[in-house]
Structure 1
Amino acid sequence: MLGTLTAATAAGGVLAPAHAASAPTEVDPAAYRLTADYTEYTARVEALLEQAGRASVSQVMDDANHERTPATVIDTQVHGFRFATSDENDPDAFPQGIATSRDAVGTAGDGRYDGRQVIAVSFYNNSPKSSRINLIDWDANHPNAYRRILLVEPTGTAEEPSFQDVKIHAGGIAWYGDLLYVADSAAKPGGMRVFDMSRILTTDTGGTKDQIGRVGDTFHAHNYAYVLPQVGTITSAVDEGTEPLVWSTISLDRVTRSIVMTEYRCEDCTDYPMGTTRALRFDFQEGSPTFAASTTASDALEVPLHYLNGVGSHNGRWWFNSSRHKTLDHWPGTGELTTYPWVSWGQSLSYWEDEDGPDLLWSLTEGEGFRAVFAVEQGDYS
């Protein structure tokens, strides 16, 4: 079965690392910067909310219409589920990034956002070209269900707003407060697109699959009932002579209040960038889920790994998932990387902090026919 892996264990059931690898190299973070714009779409988003209608996360989850079912992805997991058949077998839609409501709000109230404990998984779609999130209920008080929400970019004017598809890979997501950051590897230079989970739009589910945006006095979104409009853009820049960043995947570090990113680079290929893989950290403004107008990286690493689809960080520690090599590497901030066996088709990572139980690492698999989400105790991979 695609995605399934039996992890190596030592005597007594303790997970045994495969080997220790060489250490990442710290480089000057001053060569890497972000420019943030949270105002470009404000007028059009507010007009869309008024004209199209608005829904909360709780309302969306009350309307969840796809069922998740239990799944075993890796023998060390503590949780695991797979998507409905329509998502598992879709040759034109691929899961990529993962974040949770516990990223958004922390451990208070068992990590509930708008009263709901949920997991968000980003997908990119090939037909039509677009991106979405699946918002999945993870709460014993509610059905095991999820809803698809289309990501859109506002267009038109404040008087007559509309929207269009967001045609990106959506390779990683980070959710902090109300804001959902989505990695954008298509933009040149790369960066992130920003969405607001408190500003979900309702749309007309009639019409045809190809309809997107304003159609007369109604709004359509390829028959989706809900869309999430972009509210900001984060653009990266590098010093002269430094290779531009490849924004392959991201995740949130709540302890240092930052987003970390890394690159998918190959050892020998023609369809993806080659060369040294980098991982960086960018800090939010004090007391805010937003970046300053200009932000310089606080950490920059050259990582002796390739084919990275997942990155995680928590209080100075790092994890890197190599999908090609089926490994998860942990770096405590000094010394060598420790490499563990991991899953096939592994994608992004998300750190789940828990006051009453073990902290978790959430991840997911992409392979058609077995698209599953799972969590392991982070202590088994540290």
Structure 2
Amino acid sequence: MALARMTRLPASAALPYALRRDNEGAAAREAALAAFLASRTRTTVGRVLEKATRVATHKRPATALKGVAATDWFRLDTKDDVTVKWYPQGLSCGSDAGLASPAAFAISWYWRPAPSVEPQRGIRVSFLNVATLRYAHVLLVEPDAAGEPVPINVHAGGLVWYKNLLYVPDTTGGLRVFDLRNLCVGGPFDYPYTLPQSDVWSCDRALGARFSFASLDRGADPVLLVSGEYLTSGTGRVVRWALDADGSLAADETGTAVPVDAYTGPGSKIQGAASYKGRWYFSQSGLAGANDRLLTTAPGEAVRERMYPKGPEDLTVWRGKSTVWTIAEKPGGRVILGVPL
């Protein structure tokens, strides 16, 4: 695949990505959330990490990575590694959230059941305790008017964990927000934990913006939220938003959040992007052979290529280790791995 230099776009190119908070529906949304929480027991991410029972593996044999120069890598348990019902997509880490201990990852998944055989389960997030290698699944839901949990049928192609909030991309709709202070014990389909949607930021679908993945730029001051487009051909865009002190999108008096900048990406089939201290990192899929690739560049510079596992998805930067991480989605090869920045 041909690669192109990143170019900063004019401000008008970011306008399709403008997001508006649904203030008119806020009262109904808050009432539904309150009804959902009324009969449930809340918990915390810390307790989830302490009590997690699924077990990941640390540092699989290097041959499993097919030559990728990883500093660390993990693999989920066998059931999650090979299932064709759930596919991992988004990746964020405790470093993004400002969580000092324990070191942790959060992984988003989307449900792909056999047609007309199993009910829709929507999306989930797994929290992995790096120290203990234990992890647990949390089902994400949208409360209906009666406070009942409804699965959210989106692709969840990215994930940002910042302070108390999780941001999940809705490919053609914008960003969905989940407040971790509303994390509850128990849930549908025998899930041990449930997290209800607390907010939504919507784009104008007619303008054709795509929210395929997301990450956090902790190298910027103030911190920026990043999102971008996956396109099967042509070059997608990446854009960045300012965040308020509480982690929410910075918006004007009309409730509209406009990106602070926008760039062209390096090529097609970009699955994830992260920016850190002026440099950009992109995961690219769809190459022939045993490996895909990690691309590194800065606006105006030539793009450098590095070997990556097949099916790389979202990216996140672990600042304390100076590494960039991805998760591979292919069943039987679901490695979470970090390489040096």
Which interval holds the TM-score relative to the shorter structure?
0.7 to 0.9
Provide Cα deviations, 1:308-343, integer angstroms capped at 9, x if missing partner: 111111133211111113121112233222222222
Task: Say yes or no: does 1:300 pair with 2:300.
Answer: no
- Which one of 256, 277, 280 corresponds to residue 318 of structure 1? 280
Q: Distance in 2 between matches of 1:284 and 1:348?
A: 20
Q: Distance in 2 between matches of 1:42 and 1:117?
A: 32
- In structure 2, relative to structure 1, the CA distance for the partners of 1:46 and 1:117 (3 Å cut) is farther
Unaligned runs of 5+ in 1: 1-18, 106-110, 204-219, 268-274
How do 1:224-373 and structure 2 match up within 5 A? 224-237=191-204, 243-256=207-220, 257-267=223-233, 275-285=234-244, 287-291=245-249, 292=251, 293-325=255-287, 326-354=292-320, 358-373=321-336
Residue 83 of structure 2 aligns to a residue in which SS? coil
Q: Which residue of 2 aligns with 1:45?
A: 33
Q: Secondary structure at the match of 2:148?
A: strand
Of the three residues 137, 140, 152, the one matched with 2:129 is: 137
1:201 and 1:44 mapped to 2: Cα distance? Answer: 15
* Residues 76 and 335, structure 2, Cα contact 8 Å, conserved in 1: yes
Does structure 2 conserve the Cα–Cα contact (< 8 Å) formed by 1:21 and 1:338?
A: no
Distance between the aligned counterparts of 1:98 and 1:59, measured in 2? 20
- TM-score, normalisation: structure 1: 0.77
Out of 55-64 and 39-48, give the one that drifted further. Answer: 39-48
**Displacement after TM superposition at 1:20 (Å):** 10
1:146 aligns with 2:135: yes
CA contact (8 A) 1:20 1:338 kept: no
For the Cα contact (< 8 Å) 2:7–2:299, is it kept in 1? no
Could you tell me which of 168, 172, 176 is aligned with 1:182? Answer: 168
Report the Cα distance in structure 2 between the residues aligned to 1:83 and 1:147, rounded to whole angstroms. 11
Alpha-carbon RMSD: 2.1
Give the aligned partner of residue 190 of structure 2. Answer: 223
1:21 Cα deviation after fit: 4.4
Return the structure number with greater helix share.
Answer: 2
Residue 96 (structure 1) shift: 0.5
**Percent identity over the alignment?**
27
Q: Which whole-Å CA distance do the structure 1 matches of 2:204 and 2:9 have between them? A: 16
Unaligned 5+ runs, structure 2: 114-118
TM normalised by structure 2 equals 0.86
1:89 partner amino acid: V
In the alignment, which residue of structure 1 is the partner of 2:145? 156
Q: How many residues align?
A: 314
Task: Report the Cα distance in structure 1 between the residues aligned to 2:238 and 2:213, rounded to whole angstroms.
Answer: 10
In structure 2, what is the Cα distance between the partners aligned to 1:225 and 1:155? 20
Give the whole-Å Cα distance in 2 for the aligned partners of 1:78 and 1:338: 19
